[in-house]
Amino acid sequence: MPPIDQNGKINGASRLRSQQHAERIQSRKNNPYQKMRNDQVKGSAEDKFVLSSQSSEVSSIKERVHQLPDVDMEKVERLRQLIQNGNYEIDNQKMADGILADSVSLADHE
* Span 69-99, pLDDT tens digits: 888 899 999 999 999 999 999 999 999 999 9
pLDDT at 56: 84
Return the pLDDT at 77: 96
Distances (CA, A) of 79 to 29, 58, 68, 88: 76, 33, 20, 7
Contact, 17 vs 9, CB < 8 A? no
Q: What is the pLDDT of residues 2-13, one digit of tens each?
A: 566 666 666 655
